[in-house]
Amino acid sequence: MDVARLAGVSPSTVSRILNGTARVSDDKRDAVLAAIEKVKFAPNQMAQGLKKGRSMTIGIVVQDISSPFFDETLRGVDDGLKNTGYASVIVSGHWDAEEEADRIRLLLARKVDGIILLSGRMSDQTVLNFSTQRPIVSTGRALHTASALGFKLDNEAGAYLAVHHLIELGHRRIAFITGPANNIDAGERLAGYTRALKEAGIALDDKLIVEGNYHESSGMLAMNQLFDTHQQFTAVFAANDLTAYGARLALYRKGIRVPDDISLVGFDDLPGSSYTTPPLTTVRQPLYDIGRIATQALMRIINGEPARGEVPPLELVVRETTRRVR
Amino acid sequence: MDVARLAGVSPSTVSRILNGTARVSDDKRDAVLAAIEKVKFAPNQMAQGLKKGRSMTIGIVVQDISSPFFDETLRGVDDGLKNTGYASVIVSGHWDAEEEADRIRLLLARKVDGIILLSGRMSDQTVLNFSTQRPIVSTGRALHTASALGFKLDNEAGAYLAVHHLIELGHRRIAFITGPANNIDAGERLAGYTRALKEAGIALDDKLIVEGNYHESSGMLAMNQLFDTHQQFTAVFAANDLTAYGARLALYRKGIRVPDDISLVGFDDLPGSSYTTPPLTTVRQPLYDIGRIATQALMRIINGEPARGEVPPLELVVRETTRRVR
DNA sequence: CTGTTAGCGCTTTCAT
DNA sequence: ATGAAAGCGCTAACAG
């Protein structure tokens, strides 16, 4: 080590000072510190990592690099990492189980110390397999082993909340724009919609259910399809906020007022949903908390402590896109 | 190496096969490949990095982990990295020059092979200093050395475009919600606003200029301040889209129609701006392209090629929040 | 308290 | 074409 020579000590001593591994006499310490300052020395993390078997890096797998949904969760992750010395490398699985697995293999080759999997598409078994190499914390699944932890939110209950709210306001013809057919969360939200209707004695009408893909454009398309087929309804429940935004625009284009003519409910409560016109009534997912709590749980596992952590439940946020049917 | 023993060859041979560094006889190659498959071997990237002096990682410095603005740019970065073998570690400077420098030092200690600095707050000189250690590509500044490249968009011209559009529509009383006072881009946008007004022979009215902070809430506050002080105006130009969203909500709350009563223009063209109600007229920043082009430029520098790259100019996107004054 | 030694997992001369 | 040996920069015994 350069610094060692400069300070006239051995590399070990420098290392000891850097890591606080052992007592070092004050004069040597001062000399070393001075040398470090002089050369602006910072230990090579790759060498450190190689030696210690810790890369001080965790991997985050998202499905979409550019989505307010993952964004908000990442903010939680970032805060959870604060003062841990850990950095994160973020990769995208692009909503594809295969690609997701590939990305995880890459992270593993990079020797990340742990992985956070957001909205994974892989099977639980695959996650469990990977977790033998490095601890994994995942959202969207219920897992609980020594090296794998999952947080599952009750989508069914969340959707029920939304539809029940609409029913309480007197709505009986409630359209539903679902998420992608192969998406588990989307399926659960559909189940919640169905249950709320059934409980209220409202017959399910397939024509009022149209498939979207979680993006704005699909919300718009879905609304137009509803209108083109002349469906009658007074409220729309969208499987996520982005879809609701699209639906909102379709309504605007038709000159239909929200909430005066039609009520609209979303799902997620993205940061932007408080600023739509009008502000969106939606089911709040504790996105930030999920990120933060998942990260803290992962840190615990990495440090050999038992895995634990719980996230707040979904809750309905009533804003201004819903009102009593007249 | 485990694989080496299994295949009955030396570690060097395995390495040669992995890297294609030299010819290897077919039978040995087959044996090694089989062994790799069997053990599912993937080289330890930290060891590789330590030896080769390349971490195959670049650092990205954003100012806000959770903002549609950076998001869109990051998507471009991600695409630019595709098939390069590079991964990125994203850190946030939180709009603070000091923190930004700290984060860069962290990235440097991690031996990233290059850095992309988005909307940096540091001085050009500081960037140049860091660039002696690792190549840096930055947005928001004009730089062009062997190891530092900057892309600067013409904010002044962009703002001019927006205000000129409003003036052409007959607006004369145009309010401006600025960005943070210490923000360079914001200052340039103010200059563009001023020039457009002056060119049209419209006197500048300080009362129509109110400071925001680039967030939705400040747009809302700014509008309210304008109303509370009884300003007269028929159009509002917001320093960025988020601010425009906030202004839009304030207008909605007052029952003022957009664009019928008041026209509104933003700046950025965030992905969500096509789906506001009504869709927002704004100055388009090629966020995605910036990310992609910056990344490709950085890759070139890393590979020893001359730095180059150019981003598309700002352009006005006329949607539905502006109309001719009656 | 501190220096010497070995070695983390890989690549790269240098021989052969 | 291939193996042996050295070494990337650091830390962790092991002596002393």
Confidence class for position B87, pLDDT limits 50, 70, 90: very high
The two counts, helices (H) then strands (E), for chain B are 12, 11
For residue B43, give every residue at least 6 positions away whose Cβ sits within 8 Å of its Cβ, in sequence order, or none: A109, B18
Does residue B32 lie within 7 Å of nucleic acid chain D, judged by its CB?
no
CA separation for the pair B120, B115 (Å, rounded): 12
Which residues, at least 6 apart from A25, have a Cβ–Cβ distance to it below 8 Å?
Answer: none
Cβ(A120)–Cβ(A101) below 8 Å: no
d(CA A151, CA A49): 30
Per the CB < 8 A criterion, the answer to whether B254 and B237 are in contact is no
Taking the alpha carbons of B43, B49, B52, B58 in that order, is the dihedral positive or negative?
positive
Q: Which of B283, B34, B21, B74 is nearest to B163 (CA)?
A: B283
Token code pair at residue A232: 């009658």
- Which chain B residues are Cβ-neighbours of A271 within 8 angstroms? 66
Q: Which residues contact A203 (CB under 8 A, 6 or more apart)?
A: A197
User: With contact defined as beta carbons under 8 Å apart, do B80 and A15 qualify?
Assistant: no
**Residue A97 and residue A121 in contact, taking contact as beta carbons nearer than 8 Å:** yes
B interface with A, Cβ–Cβ below 8 Å: 42-47, 49-50, 55, 57, 65-68, 71-72, 74-75, 78, 87-92, 105-106, 108-111, 216, 245-246, 248-249, 252, 271-272, 274-279
Closest nucleotide (C1' vs CA) to A51 is C8
Q: How far is CA A264 from CA A66, A199, A257, in A?
A: 25, 21, 10
Q: How do residues A141-162 score in pLDDT, each as one tens digit?
A: 999 999 999 999 999 999 999 9
Distance CA A264, CA A190 (A): 16
Two structure tokens written together for A253: 């284009």
Does at least one atom of strand D sit less than 7 Å from the CB of A52? yes
Q: Which of B50, B252, B275 sits opposite A278 (nearest CB)?
A: B252
Residue B78 has pLDDT above 80, yes or no: yes
Is A276 within 8 Å of B276 when comparing Cβ atoms? yes
What H or E segment, with its residue span, contains residue B243? helix B241-253
pLDDT tens digits for range B20-54: 888 899 998 999 999 999 999 999 999 999 999 99
Give the closest nucleotide to A4 (alpha carbon vs C1'): C3
CA distance A269 to chain B (A): 14
Say which amino acid occupies B66: S
A94: left (phi over 0), alpha (psi -120 to 50) or beta: left
Is the minimum distance from the CB of A15 to strand D below 7 Å? Answer: yes
> Which residues of chain A (36-65) touch nucleic strand C at CB < 7 A?
47, 50-51, 53
| Chain A residue whose CA is closest to B52 | A46
pLDDT above 90 (res B268): yes
Strands B315-317 vs B281-284: parallel, antiparallel or unpaired: antiparallel
pLDDT of B308 above 90: no
Measured in angstroms, what separates residue B57's CA from nucleotide D15's C1'? Answer: 40
* pLDDT of res. B309: 85
Q: How far is CA B115 from CA B106, B118, B273, in A?
A: 11, 10, 30
Whether the beta carbon of B21 falls within 7 A of nucleic chain D: the reply is: no
Which strand ranges, in their side-by-side order, compose the sheet holding B174-178?
A: B209-211, B174-178, B235-238, B263-268, B281-284, B315-317
CB contact under 8 Å between A272 and B106, yes or no, is no
Cβ contact B110:B89 at 8 Å? yes
Query: Which pLDDT does position A120 carry in this prediction?
Result: 87
Q: For residue B62, name the pLDDT band (cuts at 50, 70, 90).
A: very high
B11: its two tokens: 């570690």
Element (H, E) at A89: strand A87-92
SS3 category, B144: strand
pLDDT at B182: 87
B11 touches strand C (CB under 7 A): yes
Residue whose Cα is closest to the C1' of C1: A24
Provide the CB-side half-sphere exposure for A250 (13 A, CA): 23
Q: What is the mean pLDDT of residues B143-148?
A: 94
Q: Tens of pLDDT along B9-19?
A: 999 999 999 99
CA of B17 to C1' of C11 (A): 12
DSSP letter at B240 equals: S
Verify if strand C has an atom below 7 Å from the CB of B278. Answer: no
Q: Is the CB of A11 under 7 A from strand D?
A: yes
Count Cβ atoms below 10 Å from residue B141 Cβ, excluding itself: 18
**Which residue in chain A has the smallest CA separation from B320?**
A253
Encode pLDDT of A30-79 as tens digits.
999 999 999 999 999 999 999 999 999 999 999 999 899 999 999 999 99
Q: Which two tokens stand for residue A71?
A: 């964004």
Q: Mark the nucleotides of strand C covered by protein, meaning any atom under 7 Å from a CB.
A: 1-5, 7-13
> How far, in Å, CA of B182 to CA of B1, rounded?
56
pLDDT above 70 coverage of chain B, percent: 100
Instruction: From residues 37-56 of B, list those within 7 angstroms of strand C by Cβ.
Output: 41, 43-44, 47-48, 50-52
Q: Region of A289 please: left (phi>0), alpha (psi -120 to 50) or beta.
A: alpha
Q: Which residues of B175-213 are buried (b: 16+ CB within 10 A; e: fewer)?
A: bbbbbbeebebbbbbbebbbbbbeeeeeeeeeebbbbbb
